[in-house]
Amino acid sequence: MLRQARNFMLEKGFWSERTAELGEVAALVRRMRPMQSSIPLRRLGGANGGGYLIPDDLEGIKACISPGVWIECTFDEAVADLGLDVLIADAAADGPPARHDRFTFTKKSVDSFTGDDRITMDDLCRNIRPGEDLLLDMDIEGAEYRVLSAISDDLLSRFRIMTIEFHHLGNMHTPFGLSEIGGVFDRLLRTHNIVHIHPNNSLTAVSRGGIAIPPVMEFTFLRRDRGSFTPSTGPFPHPLDATTEPHLPEVVLPACWYAN
């Protein structure tokens, strides 16, 4: 509860604790800037919150791992229609909101440990044949940091493409948040590049010292061996992007995330 209150205050721009050094925050933002890939992006899923931009590089991927159930699953349906098996997991749901022959549901939430209603990413993927490439589509409301910290190097390297909604990014302005978020991203960026960022428009950016951080953003990653990469200059939003909340104005990616 205390952490939820703290996150709420930060996302509204109120600082109730010591702030991180601006230079360190700026350095992390620079490391998190998107790259332009030699593989073009395509949109899969619904027109708004259920759709994501991913590289058009799905051939040969065996399965999509999809922790977290929402009110719709059009992205999962789209990749299933393309021939991928989809593993969906969420302890708070009785199943996905739609049915598909390629869906497999586990009534457990992906976490950093396996227990009664929890399962690690490695245990969830244990029955997939070793060595096969995977797609990760994850929106688990803030648990992504501990899940990604716990995933094995072997499994992480098998995710050719990852689309992840990251929450509480405004915490980068605090020492703890900078360490936690920076540690996760630095690990991911050893094997993958960020190829797309789209802010969720349900919250406005948290700004301090000229560094504006949208609290919730969708990041798309492509494994480094899958193409060539150059720093991206936009456009932002991408022509295929759509607002997460159609009744609210778009939150445009701040220039500090891509411009020198």
10-21 confidence digits (pLDDT tens): 555 555 568 999
- For residue 157, what is the DSSP state? H
Contact in structure between 146 and 152 (CB atoms under 8 Å): no
93-108 confidence digits (pLDDT tens): 998 888 999 999 999 9
Q: For position 8, which CATH number holds?
A: 3.40.50
Question: How much is the mean pLDDT over the chain?
Answer: 92
- For residue 195, what is the DSSP state? E
Q: For 112-122, what is the mean pLDDT?
A: 97
**pLDDT over 60 at 249, yes or no:** yes
User: Which of 61-70, 178-187, 237-246 has the highest average model confidence (pLDDT)?
Assistant: 178-187
Residue 4: per-residue pLDDT: 53
Q: For 171-195, what is the mean pLDDT?
A: 98
Q: For 163-167, what is the mean pLDDT?
A: 98
**pLDDT over 60 at 111, yes or no:** yes
Tally of domains in the chain: 1
For the chain, give the percent of residues with pLDDT over 70. Answer: 93
Q: Which residue has the higher pLDDT, 5 or 157?
A: 157
Q: How far apart are the first and last CA of the chain?
A: 38
Tokens of 53: 């931009």
Domain that holds residue 248: 2-257
Residue 146's pLDDT band, with cuts at 50, 70 and 90, is very high
Residue 18: per-residue pLDDT: 84
Q: Helices in 141-211 by DSSP H: which ranges?
A: 144-150, 153-158, 175-188
Residue 47's pLDDT band, with cuts at 50, 70 and 90, is confident
Residue 125's pLDDT band, with cuts at 50, 70 and 90, is very high
Q: How far apart are CA 134 and CA 69, in angstroms?
A: 19
51-92 confidence digits (pLDDT tens): 999 999 999 999 999 999 888 899 999 999 999 999 999 999
Those residues whose C-beta lies under 8 Å from the C-beta of residue 203, and which sit 6 or more positions away, are 11, 214, 215, 216, 251
Residue 46: per-residue pLDDT: 84
Residue 17: per-residue pLDDT: 65
Residue 13: per-residue pLDDT: 55
Q: Which residue has the higher pLDDT, 4 or 245?
A: 245
Residue 2: per-residue pLDDT: 44
Q: For 214-218, what is the mean pLDDT?
A: 98
